[in-house]
Chain A
Amino acid sequence: MARFLVSRLAQSLLLLVLVSVIGFGVLHLAPGGPMAQFALVPGMSQAQLAEIAHAMGLDQPLPLQYWQWFSRLLVGDWGHSYRDAQPVLAVIAARLPATLELMGAAIALAVLTGVTVGVLGAVRRDSAFDVLSTAGAMVALSIPTFWFGLVTIYVFSVKLGWLPAGSRATVGDASLWGYVHHLIAPACVLALVEVAVWSRYMRSAMLDVIDQDFVRTARAKGLPERRVVLHHVLRNAWLPMITLAGLELPTLLGGALVTETVFTWPGMGRLFLDSLGYRDYPVVMGILMVSALLVLIGSLMADLVGAVVDPRVRLD
């Protein structure tokens, strides 16, 4: 167990360095950049621009720039936003809770709905419910998130007026319902694809288990069908789903980016897109590192939980 943790942590650190190198490289390869923004300011002379570039360290060779950023990161200095000179960590910390709230709600919704649909589909294989949910999952998987978000806003906010069209809360309304009310639409939109993924995986995981010998043993004991399905089939079928939860985290983060933009959700995803447009290198890199960290923690947690719930798995 200790050996597993040490080797996983070492791997994770290596991955984080790789992510930072690739992220940094790609970011600087993209045309434009902070200097292009400053060049648009009226009355800015070439000499002034060069001075700014020098002050920001942008005139140095790329590897050196990377090293300077990275070595500061190691001592906890994530740099300052180009836009408002705020510390990067503070900027991200202000946005992270909104993203975690949205993702948490979407995961809960996706797991609950997806698992239920998948289990029912497997137990009532080839029933009308199974056929409909299969077709529904295919449709959900092929709908682009941004389009579904826009349609949701059009139908439920514009036409019906049931749900707010965006943002996390109404100014002046700090009630819990106010937050939940704002959360419903973006969480559902973000969860849609995940519900489809989860229900498909859950169904096939259930079908993998349902014909196994030990399920017949459970029936031979005279147990009620409900207990056979929940205690014997599902208990085995959800083991691979824990790994899936870890694997789906990056997809969910990507989906959050789009969803937050569509619903003007004040989260990290929208901050990322805004900062990208502004070529706010320190903030973009900061978000990249935080996201990578979230994904790595997620998959490590998935492995640990998987080992705890499956007595056959030993981590070493």
Chain B
Amino acid sequence: MAGPVLEVRGLSVGFADGRRTVPAVHEVAFTLHPGETLALVGESGSGKSVTSLALMRLLPPAPRTRVTGAALLRGRDGTVHDLLALPDAAVRALRGDRIAMIFQEPMTSLNPVHRIGDQIAESVRFHRGLDRHAALKRAEGLIERVGIPDAARRLRAYPHELSGGMRQRVMIAMALACDPAVLIADEPTTALDVTVQSQILALLKGLQRETGMGLVFITHNLGVVAEIADRVMVMYAGRIVESGGVVPVMTAPRMPYTAGLIASVPRLDLKGGEMVSIPGTVPDPRAPPPGCAFAPRCPHRRPTPCDEAVPPLEAAGAGHDVRCRRWAEIAAAAAPRPALEARA
């Protein structure tokens, strides 16, 4: 089957704050193909989690939130459904079946009073209409598939009897219960130990190879991005500021913000180097800067053109987009001494 499994167009989200609406996400658009991994990168408050929750229709309903745009999910029979326009019941039928999500906190994301087998079986029972016995049988297979030993016995375990890594595996088993075409993983490894992190990443990659699902991987960890992603989308203050293939974006970032993020990843191979960080903080969404949202923190800022208006997303290469008015200028100035070589 050719074509994307998920296509997001002009997704904007605003939260009601008294009488006005505070914008959280502006005009996010992307496509996701089967078997592809898209990393959604940004700091806390950049809008990456809100974007994913909006796609899952898990945000509080209107009027507390305002969601506009379209999110076209290809159904099992090839028909296309707009997740943002469907009635609640129709969304529920797709959620957990065609599109699934795993969350950051495995410790609190499982119901403490139900056995994990029942929690995994629950979604198969609802979406596939299996009886409890058949659903538990399937849950056992899923538990095995996500690498939990002694599956038959673990079916009867309660969440508090499992470690964080095991719980995240259970979450993955739960999300994969109905073979979704799209899996959204919202910082699934952030709360885990480093060794467990790479196990979970390897597990996700392996499962993706088996099932051909599209993976939206949300993270603030660029090390993880390099390991797992095909394409990267960097968000800042609710907007996509750079997107493209993982190699061009990571090796030749065009947006100063992306460059700053990459430079601030601690590196062992640069001895004596100072820890680099981006000065300042994310702007208050209730009072955004008039021009580029990153301008107040940007080392390349010029009042003209940076503060004039929000820059558009422009093409900086094949499939490589950037939201910066000065990207070409900056790239040209840096050309004789590319950033990565200069540091070596």
Contact = CB atoms under 8 A, between A and B. Distances in A.
A-B interaction: yes
Interface of A: 212-214, 216-225, 227, 231-232, 235-236, 239, 309-312
4 tightest A-B CB contacts, nearest first: A222-B96, A222-B95, A221-B96, A221-B123
A216 B103 contact: yes
A311 B112 contact: yes
By DSSP majority rule, is chain A's interface helix, strand, loop, or mixed?
helix
Given A212-B108, A232-B111, A312-B113, 6 more contacts: A213-B105, A220-B103, A222-B95, A222-B126, A310-B113, A312-B112
B108 A221 contact: no
B292 interface: no
B111 A220 contact: no
A212 to B, nearest CB: 6
B106 to A, nearest CB: 9
Contacts of B123: 221-223
15 contacts: A213-B105, A213-B109, A214-B110, A217-B111, A218-B111, A219-B58, A220-B100, A220-B101, A221-B96, A221-B100, A221-B122, A221-B174, A222-B97, A222-B126, A311-B158
Given A221-B126, A223-B92, A312-B158, A214 B112 contact: yes
Contacts of A310: 113
A220 B160 contact: no
Given A220-B96, A311-B160, A236 B111 contact: yes
B113 A217 contact: no
Given A220-B101, A222-B95, A214 B108 contact: yes
A220 B56 contact: yes
Nearest to A217: B109
B301 interface: no
A220 B114 contact: no
B310 interface: no
Contacts of B88: 225
A218 to B, nearest CB: 7
Contacts of A220: 56, 58, 95-96, 100-101, 103, 175
Contacts of A217: 103, 109-111, 171, 174
A212 B159 CA distance: 15
A217 B101 CA distance: 8
A217 B177 CA distance: 13
Contacts of B171: 217
A219 B88 CA distance: 11
A214 B109 contact: yes
Contacts of B93: 222
Contacts of B112: 214, 236, 311-312
B58 A222 contact: no
B94 interface: yes
A235 B114 contact: yes
B89 to A, nearest CB: 8
Nearest to B177: A221
A223 B95 CA distance: 9
